[in-house]
Structure 1
């Protein structure tokens, strides 16, 4: 593997020759511009000044960036090392470099390219001393950060739950950092007890990270920006180096990244940002959609080039996505189109619960792959392979039911966002050893490896070491944690048992031997020594089959280390530790495996599959419950739905479950289903073969295409459908969650009976002490609502209330005799309450009272 050079390094090379003759220029223009459409060509050839490329989903933004860089080098004569391209994932950077290499050859290696975090890390390695940072700092991931916070909680005798849960504390600290707030500013702004608590933890956390010579992911960005602002000579050097800046996924940048880009672009102003405001879905981790919406305000001379031609999806899929996202107010007007006119309608399945939903998804997958007898989808004249199929969901908790259904059907899958390779215990142990060797102050890594493999060093010993470390820090003594371990090993620390002292001496000796080889051996050889001298290899060999699997992971880690052989040993170690710490979920996606992909909607951004399932389209789940009363959050949920829909190339399947075993209980179909044009959708629920009628919920309710109420027997009705008793076109259930809940009976409680009136939905009674004895059946369910309730059937009989009899009238309109001891009321009965008036029985049960 040819490792890309450090993008922050300087170069003595001369600029690449530009095409001078007319023939040469024509050849370059033909090769670079011919594959592009008119809008893409404009984006590629607009080289000077600020440029915003509004690149809709599947519009070829990566092609635009790579062709633009090639144009700059081969047509404009710009030296490749004077060009910077910033991405959000290593995967995107690698793909971009590979494409560029195909176009311009080895010159692509000299283009500075990487993620925000990796570029900042390398700038800080090279120039961090200008702002007082050690160049040998370690990068802490979420697990390392949690260990720091847990140490504080233990010192304070606080639980790692509730408001002091480490992930919640770290989340609050991260949000503050993304807003550019220091720990001191957090304290100044704190009002509540919890805010003061978080601010105090933030202050301690910052001090401890400095003492450990460690930076977390947010610190890399903050310190990278501070470097440019507080070290003018360093900033000028980078501005002089990078004449042309390209930023991918600009809509996902946060305040700090925005500042970093602006600092670098202040020199020549040749800034090209590519993004799509309709795909801004990361506000929860600091992304600010205003960065892209306000680009023209920030750069008044900017050129705007929209890319609206889509090369991925059918027009049906694009129209469905537009139907959803066009309801947002905070967006730039645009609409995707494709030459792939038409497309197959989108099946929508309504399930009773998440297990029913998962089973339906698996059945459809088996049909797509011809693993199940039945009619193959028209879009797949030849069967799909499993790697062409993805299942997307809003939250990780949803994957459980899907995984179980896939396992039962023996369908292979890969779960993205599960336990990643670099998070596996044995891999983290090996990396912790490397970090200890590189930085003697790294207490968190020391405490991880000090008893790995087991050496008889217990928690009591670790507490004594930690206390000694804290005492020396309080005295201002700069001794490293490694020195403390070594001193304990020779008896200088009181309270250590002889057995533990011997073990600590052994650890100190191993560290000293391995550290002496850091600058002498290549990285794979260093890992071999770590595996051997620490006892990791022997320990895993004694663990049987599980140990063999874990040993295979360590061998895989060694193979990855082999990619850095072109660098000097210490540089290789630093780059290796950086890249393993900064790897993203998408980087773990293995596209060559013939497995179905399970992935969250957030993690799926930037990916595509021929067939996509979006599950869990239930109000309160997607859109998420926290967005229901917040317009900005609802608009982000809508953008997330847009992202999910546009991952599909040919086939899109949508599903929801009315009931889940976790979360907020029963729910209604998502409003996003209602926002998709009706003619694009079809019901995937089948008629009950025994009765020829629409079965309830996920067992085959009909009527989605004919009336929106038919999805799964629990969907929303079509507004203005004209069905007898249906709300008229002015009724907007998608705009009124409470109305929807009342209409579906979700969360209805005993005694809370209700009935829709001609204008919509009546209010639920405030008094929930209604006596069912006072309820009298009065008639049948209106036709427009009949399929909503289990057991309900359509009827053309009179809707006149009958208050003269105690006989309940079920939805079919056929009288039944009440038998003593039997349930007096059945689901779907229309009744009249003496106090609350008419209503429909959603559910009833016989009690001993």
Structure 2
């Protein structure tokens, strides 16, 4: 392509940039940190910068490296560049940080003729299995996320064994776990994501030849979403690109969403000290959202502080949709896509609550794109347990299902008895697992307990799916098991199963439908998208509906302060994906299970109540303001994150509250000042 000047570039590709962005695009003298709020055009600037370098400065694309947060974003940004600028074969490199680090490792290993360890992105199953084997613990979703975050923090902060030895973690020997986890990976020659970054940093610090090779390879380095980089990632970037490369980082501290991978945004505070002659700039304006959505987002996240400055004059009506039953919510979502054929994104925080909508779209043959994994949902311990127990109730001769759940059903059976039961089933096809247990060497007390419940178990095989799930919870003791693990009836996976179960009365048909969902291939591109709020970062949609605005889901219950702040940023991200239309969905009940409205909706809806009334919308009920002298022993209250509980004692400004699964001591003034409690 013939070389052009910068004005010709913008004219040729019909690109409009304000004066500041044009100046930043062509800044080639100083390391740049560009801060900006959501919608300020950071990624658009990054793409324009690439085009400027190649088409005006005639820089080879092989000398340009663009680092982004994850592989999906890398593909999306590359696609956007190709759409805007790529009229020839020249394409710069867009890659996520872990893939780039793995390139360094493979290059190094090839030079010393060593086979590189395989890289794995998802180690959830391994972590769950190790914890269960070592500590006899079944991790909840929240516990798993916290453990993964702690693992990532240790590795990404490059902690010593001594530092790790001082860490206490939720009822387990964390240092022992870390040693077992490391041994598991070493024995199999595999890396997790944190290992990749740590090994890359080690190689760069210990092997000058590799460092020089990669430092010389890239002349221009751009990093989008720099607030998500971990400490060790910053170490790698500093080692490689602090001297000769022209570095540009783009960041939004309010969009730091990946604490699970030990994001370390604090490193940006020392950018000017780290990089010689650094320049720090800020982009103003929100070019994505209209006035109404911008004002709502500002009120939610920034409160009285200066927030985003809207560049649009458009307004819209924000809808708060409350449903008496959860199933009605999904039916309404189906009507939305049938009656209006414009683009829409249904965003969720918990993937489980997207499953009933996904199933409904499949049922009605509505084409959609799902950015997630149904198989991962089906592998959730609660989902697997209930499905296996249903399998066993349908077919009491199913030894596989029995083996999976006998412990969950309270059968304290030795391996010897299990072998006897399996052998008896093989020898006589007319015998089921219960008969085989009664004929085995299973202890007398266990047989007596089994005999007492046999009639109920036999009758359960004739129940409809929805009733069978209730039977499992109440008659087979599974509810008590969940509560012991601090899992409430409002758990997202359980809600999703109950909604889908109500659509398929035959248990066998229900299980078959779940298998079909696991094998279903959605559309690669569609006007209808189901995706997590986190995965929608950097994207925009004409219409957005936030699916799971429930008190147990968004924010998740039982969070620590840092986690709660992350939930706020995620909710803010969901709001700011909408360009023209925004709706929030919540529900009062799922069957007989009472659901709480997200406290985030209370915050958002308060200033909009009069507008909602005038527009004919039913306003979400507002919490009654409590005063300290209103609180009495025996009174039921609702806490923003802990749910519903009863006050059992009040003393010296503190109240003892019995929640469903735990007793908490709370500071009354703190709860009232921060509007954390209201009347139940």
Please list every run of 5 or more consecutive structure 2 residues that lacks an aligned counterpart in the other structure.
380-414, 416-511, 659-677
Q: Deviation at 1:650?
A: 1.1
What is the CA deviation profile of residues 455-514 of structure 1, one whole-angstrom value per residue up to 9, with x for unaligned ones? xxxx9xxxxxxxxxxxxxxxxxxxxxxxxxxxxxxxxxxxxxxxxxxxxxxxxxxxxxxx
C-alpha spacing 1:681/1:99, structure 2 compared with 1 (3 Å): farther
The number of residue pairs the alignment matches comes to 516
Q: Deviation at 1:52?
A: 1.7
C-alpha spacing 1:328/1:282, structure 2 compared with 1 (3 Å): farther
Look up the match of 2:450.
Answer: none
Indicate the structure whose relative CO is greater, using CA pairs within 8 Å and at least 6 residues apart.
2
Look up the match of 1:179.
Answer: 157
C-alpha spacing 1:174/1:244, structure 2 compared with 1 (3 Å): same
Look up the match of 1:674.
Answer: 603
- Partner residue of 1:202 out of 168, 178, 199: 178
CA distance in 2 between counterparts of 1:54 and 1:128 reads 37
Q: Deviation at 1:162?
A: 4.8
Look up the match of 1:741.
Answer: 638
- Partner residue of 1:69 out of 42, 47, 50: 50
SS of 1:349's equivalent in the other structure is strand
Structure 1 position 135 matched with structure 2 position 115: yes
What is the CA deviation profile of residues 131-152 of structure 1, one whole-angstrom value per residue up to 9, with x for unaligned ones? x793343223425x73587479
* Counterparts of residues 158-307 of structure 1 (less than 5 Å): 159=136, 161-162=138-139, 172-181=150-159, 184-185=161-162, 187-190=164-167, 194=171, 197-268=173-244, 270-296=246-272, 298-299=274-275, 301-307=277-283
- Partner residue of 1:634 out of 552, 559, 564: 564
SS of 2:20's equivalent in the other structure is helix
Look up the match of 2:106.
Answer: 125
SS of 1:741's equivalent in the other structure is strand
Bigger Rg, structure 1 or 2: 1
C-alpha spacing 1:634/1:172, structure 2 compared with 1 (3 Å): closer
What is the CA deviation profile of residues 436-459 of structure 1, one whole-angstrom value per residue up to 9, with x for unaligned ones? xxxxxxxxxxxxxxxxxxxxxxx9
CA distance in 1 between counterparts of 2:9 and 2:241 reads 28
Q: Deviation at 1:642?
A: 1.4
Structure 1 position 384 matched with structure 2 position 384: no
CA distance in 2 between counterparts of 1:86 and 1:211 reads 31
What is the CA deviation profile of residues 256-300 of structure 1, one whole-angstrom value per residue up to 9, with x for unaligned ones? 212112222222252101121121111133112323455345447
C-alpha spacing 1:740/1:715, structure 2 compared with 1 (3 Å): farther
What is the CA deviation profile of residues 152-201 of structure 1, one whole-angstrom value per residue up to 9, with x for unaligned ones? 966x6x6462599988765643332232235x345532457955x33223
Look up the match of 2:536.
Answer: 604
CA distance in 1 between counterparts of 2:360 and 2:309 reads 35
Look up the match of 2:622.
Answer: 715
CA distance in 2 between counterparts of 1:26 and 1:89 reads 33
SS of 1:306's equivalent in the other structure is strand
C-alpha spacing 1:351/1:87, structure 2 compared with 1 (3 Å): same
CA distance in 1 between counterparts of 2:264 and 2:24 reads 24
Look up the match of 2:95.
Answer: 114
CA contact (8 A) 2:557 2:643 kept: no
C-alpha spacing 1:206/1:186, structure 2 compared with 1 (3 Å): farther
- Partner residue of 1:657 out of 587, 598, 610: 587
* Counterparts of residues 383-532 of structure 1 (less than 5 Å): 383-385=340-342, 388-403=343-358, 411-419=366-374
CA distance in 2 between counterparts of 1:328 and 1:633 reads 22
Look up the match of 1:49.
Answer: 30
Look up the match of 1:79.
Answer: 60
CA distance in 1 between counterparts of 2:165 and 2:648 reads 51
CA distance in 2 between counterparts of 1:104 and 1:390 reads 28
SS of 2:216's equivalent in the other structure is helix
Report the TM-score, using the length of structure 1 for normalisation.
Answer: 0.52
CA distance in 1 between counterparts of 2:114 and 2:613 reads 60
CA distance in 2 between counterparts of 1:98 and 1:767 reads 53
Report the TM-score, using the length of structure 2 for normalisation.
Answer: 0.64
C-alpha spacing 1:251/1:391, structure 2 compared with 1 (3 Å): same
Look up the match of 2:125.
Answer: 146
C-alpha spacing 1:298/1:106, structure 2 compared with 1 (3 Å): same
Q: Deviation at 1:334?
A: 4.5
Structure 1 position 335 matched with structure 2 position 268: no
* Counterparts of residues 523-562 of structure 1 (less than 5 Å): none
Q: Deviation at 1:653?
A: 0.4
Look up the match of 1:529.
Answer: none
CA contact (8 A) 2:289 2:310 kept: no
Look up the match of 2:525.
Answer: 592
- Partner residue of 2:17 out of 36, 39, 44: 36
SS of 1:341's equivalent in the other structure is coil
SS of 2:585's equivalent in the other structure is strand
* Counterparts of residues 323-362 of structure 1 (less than 5 Å): 323-327=299-303, 334-338=307-311, 340-362=312-334
CA contact (8 A) 1:623 1:637 kept: yes
SS of 1:207's equivalent in the other structure is helix
* Counterparts of residues 733-812 of structure 1 (less than 5 Å): 741=638, 747=644
Look up the match of 1:103.
Answer: 85
C-alpha spacing 1:750/1:673, structure 2 compared with 1 (3 Å): closer
Please list every run of 5 or more consecutive structure 1 residues that lacks an aligned counterpart in the other structure.
1-15, 371-382, 425-458, 460-545, 557-587, 688-699, 702-710, 718-725, 755-762, 769-839, 843-849
CA contact (8 A) 2:647 2:657 kept: no
* Counterparts of residues 575-590 of structure 1 (less than 5 Å): 590=523
Look up the match of 2:400.
Answer: none
CA contact (8 A) 1:149 1:205 kept: no
CA contact (8 A) 2:128 2:139 kept: no
Q: Deviation at 1:345?
A: 1.6
SS of 2:209's equivalent in the other structure is helix
Q: Deviation at 1:106?
A: 4.5
